[in-house]
Amino acid sequence: MSNVFPTRTGTETDVRLPFSFIMFAVLAFAASQLMLLGAIPSLSSGAFRLPFVWAAAHLALLGFALMTAMGAMYQLVPVAFLTPIWSERLGFWQFAVTAAGIVAFAVSLAAAPNRAFLPSLLLLLGIILFVWQMAMTLRKQETKNVMTLFVATSLLFLLLTAAAGGLLAFHFFAAKGANSHEVVFGLHVLFGLCGWFTLLIIGFSYKMAPMFSLAHGFSLRPARYVYALYISGIAVAFASLFLRSHAWLAAGAALLMSGFVVFVWHIRAILQKRMKKTLDRPFRFSLSAIVIGLALHVAAFAAIVVGSGRLLGIIVYLFIVGWILFSIIGYLLKIVPFLWWTHRYSEKVGQQNVPTLKQMMNERAVTVQCRLWLIALALAAVALAVASVPLFAITQVLLAGLSVAFAGTILTVFRK
């Protein structure tokens, strides 16, 4: 039994900290999508490895996805793991270093990739500070659980992704490492997309899904199998890169797919135990991202088996947008109203009528946007599959418009 005198759990984070990350992220997202408008011809022909595309992709993945994940973790880790952030002061410093590192890194990737090494070190410092902060915070958690395992492992992969990325930047800087470049690039993608983002999203989904659906009476036991299968998949795919073995890569992809299948089955089982019959649009959007993630894991396995590198490139693009970015967009549409509500109305509960979280956002606009995101992804998949420049151009204009509209939707919350 816990006494709430004074009625603070001591785990609340200064709301300005997650907000700093999230505001930076929303603006970076719009910027990345607008930048990609300029890369339409090369993207639609399947040429992803160009400096301008790297810059936009890293602005989306680092500026938006990474910064959102960091901001959300500053908010969620204390409440989900019942332990306060180790040092909020360090958090603000970490924000400044990481934000400066991302901007400098994206600009140097676009302008002069061979000079991206030094900004990458600044970015690496920001990531190290974040991992240190979270490690010290999680260390204080009294009872560790399966979520701790997912989140702690994802943090380790964040470090490895950053290290591999730094090595890639060093290759350009020193004009060395041509022999190992492909392997390091593979590690960077594998660790970043599967090890960091996917494990993190899966881990927090085990908190968010029951919370947003008011699910009770479910077992978390299958999460262990998800973890074991997915980690095995990453390990086997990791080995395949060094062995240069197609069979091992296919085996790794099969394990990753199996882990994700169990995850989807488990989330479905949790949602069957829900008390809230009608789920909110943003949460349903995150659930759509899980279904997309499943389809893309299956497609990636198939592409590897048939040995289609072009198809795999398209799947990686769709994986980033449809699984990672859509998951984050969905959860962000829940987190931002909550943060602002806490800041603005928390102290007024019990004294006057306060809005519900649902009333903090224009639900109609959110519904339209969520549908358009899904349509844009379907169009992108078709455009990339048939290598249609005009269709991809339309899709990218739609994505850019949606990212600006999304930024607007987030900003309108602050007027409530």
Residues lying near another protein in the complex (CB under 8 A) are found at: 1-5, 7-9, 12, 75-76, 79-82, 207, 210-212, 214, 216-217, 275-278, 338, 341-342, 345-347, 349-351, 353-358
Considering beta carbons, is residue 42 or 367 the nearer one to another protein? Answer: 367
Minimum Å distance from CB 68 to another protein? Answer: 17
HSE of 252, CA atoms in CB hemisphere, 13 A: 21
Minimum Å distance from CB 388 to another protein? Answer: 42
Considering beta carbons, is residue 82 or 368 the nearer one to another protein? Answer: 82
Considering beta carbons, is residue 27 or 82 the nearer one to another protein? Answer: 82
Q: Give the integer Cα–Cα distance in Å for 12 and 10.
A: 6
Q: What is the DSSP string of 246-284?
A: HHHHHHHHHHHHHHHHHHHHHHHHHHHTBS-SS--HHHH
Minimum Å distance from CB 210 to another protein? Answer: 7
Q: Are 223 and 164 in contact (CB under 8 A)?
A: no
Partners of residue 215 on adjacent β-strands = 274
Task: Tell me phi and psi for residue 215, to 5 degrees.
Answer: -90, 140
Residue 191 DSSP label: I
Considering beta carbons, is residue 75 or 205 the nearer one to another protein? Answer: 75
Minimum Å distance from CB 192 to another protein? Answer: 28
Considering beta carbons, is residue 10 or 309 the nearer one to another protein? Answer: 10
Q: At what angle do helices 281-306 and 363-386 cross, to 10 degrees?
A: 10
Minimum Å distance from CB 150 to another protein? Answer: 15
Name the CA dihedral angle for 198, 199, 200, 203, rounded to a multiple of 10 degrees: 120
Considering beta carbons, is residue 309 or 364 the nearer one to another protein? Answer: 364
Q: What is the DSSP string of 58-85?
A: HIIIIIIIIHHHHHHHHHHHHHHHT---
Q: Are 60 and 29 in contact (CB under 8 A)?
A: yes
Q: Give the integer Cα–Cα distance in Å for 415 and 29.
A: 21
Minimum Å distance from CB 281 to another protein? Answer: 14
Minimum Å distance from CB 225 to another protein? Answer: 23
Considering beta carbons, is residue 41 or 355 the nearer one to another protein? Answer: 355
Minimum Å distance from CB 276 to another protein? Answer: 5
Considering beta carbons, is residue 83 or 161 the nearer one to another protein? Answer: 83
* Alpha carbon separation from 155 to 221, 257, 402 (Å, rounded): 22, 21, 30
Residues in the chain: 416
Minimum Å distance from CB 349 to another protein? Answer: 3
Considering beta carbons, is residue 132 or 338 the nearer one to another protein? Answer: 338
Take residue 257 and report the two structure tokens written for it: 């797919």
Closest to 414 (Cα-Cα) out of 342, 349, 350? 342
One-letter amino acid at 318 equals L
